[in-house]
Structure 1
């Protein structure tokens, strides 16, 4: 039985049209839901950073406020720049800030499902392409991040396109398209790195793929005395790919443009061991963010992914291993997919970088994980069809659709907090409460301030000006009523996320409202005691 991925030769009109319809529905969802989600803790800073970066471009490098205008401890220049510049550019033309930001971010999520569909097309044809796109859209922690995570979400989306381009390159490695595909892969890696430096992991992945190609073909080339010509062409391809990615980083990341080699190395060093001294709850224990156990990343992937996708991903890993044991070789695209997931996962486990905020900093592992699940579904389906178990194959498809429907139901119940989804391995949100990071973005502050804006007069009926304190003032400021003023000393009201025990401040104040998510108290509002 041949388990290798075959490139689809005939397009299927039905799944292609369904995929187009799905993408249009996704775009519509972005515009309809953009104002529903709250701002994250990082968004005010990221938005200002994007405007500073845009000034660097519009002044032809003279304005360097993206470096000088921020506390050095934040390491803003070492953070990727390209997506923040895009957001700032669109805001410049719309003359509007937060709705524009949410829409652009949401469209980046739609781009991700298009990239997933392209990868799915390479793996198993149009039906797998459709299923891959749906699977990413219905991955709760991906969907929950599309409106307000301008770092990890766009990076995950671009990762889909990088993987697609790599799959194309592997399939066409011995064709005339190789050099043009090297340009495409190089540009996409550079684009991804200009969002998050993690994208440099693609260099060793490509090196391993190339080494594997030489292991398979080296003896034949030696017999044909073609080693030097082929080696020369591969060196040219590698230089072309690496040079294109480096040039893309220089053009899309002002910090790299100022001192390409030194600043690229520094960005990697800073971001791989980010100097954040906070603590992280994990499995009921509290750890320093820089000293997390090696099980941190695998555990988070296990408890925050839909269980059916975990099962099918395991199947998707099993079949290639079986093929490797039987035939002593592995089809290139299968190897690329396994490496796209396994290599960065292994790096995170072994290097133990500073991590926090649950899965968001390695959200880019989700697309290859789901694509392994798509491969598992395809392999199971093909096995059942090959053995004439058509009824069982039909049941398999129904089970996949049912699993997506159940996840969709859970997402609706969590809305708009899909990014704190937990599966039943830990008992859902209620079971994870108190053991793992929950509402790390504190987006609950938006409905909290809206509630206070509607009810403050019940507690301060004779006051025209209301004083409020909040550690999330930057997040709630766009939504506060016009008569609200910030004051930390003896405010009338205190509004806070419960993260980092913020909700325990002002202990003599009385709690008048709580934003609760499936039993988890995410935000509290307190009122000053009456004299």
Structure 2
């Protein structure tokens, strides 16, 4: 019998051979990684100006300036410690944004969006490192590609200036936790320990939720002590952990001084976020629900419908492969052919699993007040995506070993789904974060049932459209228009130009700009322009000028008035005005 190795491959086998060799090539893998990050970096540089200002950015930037003032005053100007409720957050991002603002030749909010995207980019590198550590470079490429096309990360990283930097820091802390535990039972390297301290310090310097990373670490070391049956293991790693803790507290104190004055403020912040509530409702399955009354499944359900289809496929594949591996272990044990899984490999996956399931279990059991979908738990996306990438890779390898045809079919299906997700991502630009998957009929199916453009970032495009349309109308010299906004004035005024005055009284306004989100989607008026993507209206500009102009000819009084036609069609103002697909400054 002639072996397949010595025989000349048939023409039908060449595609499979080429795919197999390409997959195993370390050089091609590294080239693909570098190319992927180069494309993402180019996308950031080319598109960061497209994103509008989010609701929270003005106060966040003020918080950063107040933190700078505290340092500049010799620690006497403590306004930052009483500013709204932002003292309950770390100021790492806002400190950097405010501190470098005078030296960056960009408008303030464009600079903040570029900086936020930079944090997101660093987070993608952390995801690549984590997946590569667990399952090789190809897994890292898959994870980065999938997360980059996840609207709640790849699109949100420009505008979610609290959430994405925190998610990036948590991704790196998860990587360094894993890098430490895979070295057990020997003490982790100083490099890994110090990296752990820096990453957890940065996470705490952004949000108190960084304690999740500490929890993952403690649980994993406890599990490793049992798996290795080494009661001295915690003592062996203790010096490294003390050094990591010192670095972490130093960074936290620098970025979030309130938390260390005194250190018990950390616990006060935890309690505040676990019990805070205010007068706000969130849209959940077609109902407006007060944030203190959302069901325990709020976050997990939003996570399920916000994840791209390729990620859902990867999670299903991971579950299926876990089942296959379990069956194999049982059968091998019964036939006395069991092969022991190396403890380091077993423990190495534990931090990833904890990072996926602990936050979900926390929301299910503790039922904290939540709103804006998964925004506050966006840090779950990187580990979920890594787990999905590992599932896709394991399923492909399993099918490839059984049949090259099955393997190629699975890869083709996955590529088709990625292409669909990428197309949706690009069509929604720059509102990628409003994307939903097909479990609820996509973004169009979710509209009016779940949260949409809750940051009202579409007002940038609406403001530019209004400005350009009025310029084309040729308004009289010196004519100033009054504009009201169902959001923060700065979200529109930044882009309107000098011929507009912002007013609070909607009835006195010439134009009313509204984001089609909770509380802003029922305003009366004649539609002047609508910002939409994929058939979904995101923002509308209403023309209120007719309300202030006297009528030259009285309206017909009724059916007895000459000229009144009972059969005339009704006039709808809902779809009036130009439909604006995209406006550029």
Same fold (TM over 0.5): yes
Q: In structure 2, how many angstroms separate the alpha carbons of the residues matched to 1:519 and 1:401?
A: 26
Note if contact 2:167-2:379 (Cα within 8 Å) is conserved in structure 1: yes
- Correspondence for 2:356: 341
Q: In structure 1, how many angstroms separate the alpha carbons of the residues matched to 2:355 and 2:443?
A: 29
- Correspondence for 1:375: 390
Note if contact 2:277-2:291 (Cα within 8 Å) is conserved in structure 1: no
Distance 1:320 1:251, change over 3 A: farther
Q: How does 1:41-52 map to 2 (within 5 A)?
A: 41-52=55-66
Q: In structure 2, how many angstroms separate the alpha carbons of the residues matched to 1:251 and 1:322?
A: 48
| Offset, 1:178 | 4.0
Once the two structures are superposed, residues 292-333 of structure 1 have per-residue CA deviations (whole angstroms, 9 ceiling, x without a partner) of 112211211111111231121133244446656737977011
Q: Work out which of the residue numbers 125, 137, 154 in structure 1 matches 2:136.
A: 125
- Correspondence for 2:205: 194
Q: In structure 2, how many angstroms separate the alpha carbons of the residues matched to 1:394 and 1:90?
A: 50
Q: In structure 1, how many angstroms separate the alpha carbons of the residues matched to 2:521 and 2:476?
A: 25
Q: In structure 1, how many angstroms separate the alpha carbons of the residues matched to 2:199 and 2:499?
A: 48
- Correspondence for 2:120: 109
- Correspondence for 1:167: 178
Q: Work out which of the residue numbers 502, 507, 529 in structure 2 matches 1:486.
A: 502
Distance 1:241 1:89, change over 3 A: same
Greater mean deviation of Cα atoms: 332-341 or 233-242: 233-242
Note if contact 2:146-2:310 (Cα within 8 Å) is conserved in structure 1: no
| Offset, 1:11 | 8.2
Q: In structure 2, how many angstroms separate the alpha carbons of the residues matched to 1:479 and 1:93?
A: 22
Q: In structure 1, how many angstroms separate the alpha carbons of the residues matched to 2:325 and 2:522?
A: 57
- Correspondence for 1:177: 188
Distance 1:390 1:192, change over 3 A: same
SS at match of 1:348: helix
Q: Work out which of the residue numbers 276, 298, 309 in structure 1 matches 2:311.
A: 309
- Correspondence for 1:253: 256
- Correspondence for 1:504: 522
Distance 1:89 1:398, change over 3 A: farther
Note if contact 2:512-2:541 (Cα within 8 Å) is conserved in structure 1: yes
Structure 2: gaps spanning 5 or more residues: 1-23, 331-339, 551-585
SS at match of 2:509: coil
Q: In structure 2, how many angstroms separate the alpha carbons of the residues matched to 1:414 and 1:502?
A: 21
Note if contact 1:11-1:125 (Cα within 8 Å) is conserved in structure 2: no
Q: How does 1:8-87 map to 2 (within 5 A)?
A: 12-68=26-82, 70-71=83-84, 75-87=85-97
Once the two structures are superposed, residues 100-135 of structure 1 have per-residue CA deviations (whole angstroms, 9 ceiling, x without a partner) of 112111111211211111012112111111111111
Q: In structure 2, how many angstroms separate the alpha carbons of the residues matched to 1:341 and 1:395?
A: 29
| Offset, 1:217 | 2.4
Once the two structures are superposed, residues 203-239 of structure 1 have per-residue CA deviations (whole angstroms, 9 ceiling, x without a partner) of 2222221221122222xx4xxxxx4x54432444444
Once the two structures are superposed, residues 502-521 of structure 1 have per-residue CA deviations (whole angstroms, 9 ceiling, x without a partner) of 2434x3x4322222333333
Q: In structure 2, how many angstroms separate the alpha carbons of the residues matched to 1:185 and 1:11?
A: 31
| Offset, 1:142 | 1.0
Distance 1:399 1:90, change over 3 A: farther
SS at match of 1:145: helix
Once the two structures are superposed, residues 164-192 of structure 1 have per-residue CA deviations (whole angstroms, 9 ceiling, x without a partner) of 11111111123353454233212211211
Note if contact 2:127-2:172 (Cα within 8 Å) is conserved in structure 1: yes
Once the two structures are superposed, residues 310-362 of structure 1 have per-residue CA deviations (whole angstroms, 9 ceiling, x without a partner) of 12113324444665673797701122211110111111221111211122111
Note if contact 1:169-1:182 (Cα within 8 Å) is conserved in structure 2: yes
Distance 1:371 1:230, change over 3 A: closer
| Offset, 1:411 | 1.1
Q: In structure 1, how many angstroms separate the alpha carbons of the residues matched to 2:241 and 2:444?
A: 50
1:91 aligns with 2:101: yes
Q: How does 1:223-242 map to 2 (within 5 A)?
A: 227=231, 229-242=232-245
- Correspondence for 1:7: none
- Bigger Rg, which one: 2
Note if contact 1:277-1:290 (Cα within 8 Å) is conserved in structure 2: no
- Correspondence for 2:371: 356
Q: How many residues align?
A: 506
Q: Work out which of the residue numbers 452, 470, 479 in structure 2 matches 1:456.
A: 470
Once the two structures are superposed, residues 406-441 of structure 1 have per-residue CA deviations (whole angstroms, 9 ceiling, x without a partner) of 101111211111110011111112211111111111
SS at match of 1:177: coil
SS at match of 1:495: strand
- Correspondence for 1:393: 407
Distance 1:59 1:23, change over 3 A: farther
| Offset, 1:18 | 1.7
Q: In structure 2, how many angstroms separate the alpha carbons of the residues matched to 1:203 and 1:50?
A: 26
Q: In structure 2, how many angstroms separate the alpha carbons of the residues matched to 1:159 and 1:337?
A: 11
- Correspondence for 2:277: 275
What root-mean-square deviation, in Å, do the aligned CA atoms of Structure 1 and Structure 2 show? 2.3
| Offset, 1:22 | 1.6
- Correspondence for 2:347: 332
SS at match of 2:39: helix
SS at match of 2:49: coil
Q: In structure 2, how many angstroms separate the alpha carbons of the residues matched to 1:201 and 1:421?
A: 27
Q: In structure 1, how many angstroms separate the alpha carbons of the residues matched to 2:25 and 2:70?
A: 46
| Offset, 1:454 | 1.6
Note if contact 1:250-1:260 (Cα within 8 Å) is conserved in structure 2: no
SS at match of 1:501: coil
Distance 1:364 1:231, change over 3 A: closer
Q: How does 1:408-447 map to 2 (within 5 A)?
A: 408-447=422-461
Distance 1:405 1:35, change over 3 A: same
SS at match of 1:34: helix
Once the two structures are superposed, residues 465-516 of structure 1 have per-residue CA deviations (whole angstroms, 9 ceiling, x without a partner) of 22211132121121122121122341222112232332434x3x43222223
Q: Structure 1-normalised TM-score?
A: 0.89
- Correspondence for 1:521: 537
1:296 aligns with 2:307: no
- Correspondence for 2:335: none
| Offset, 1:396 | 2.4
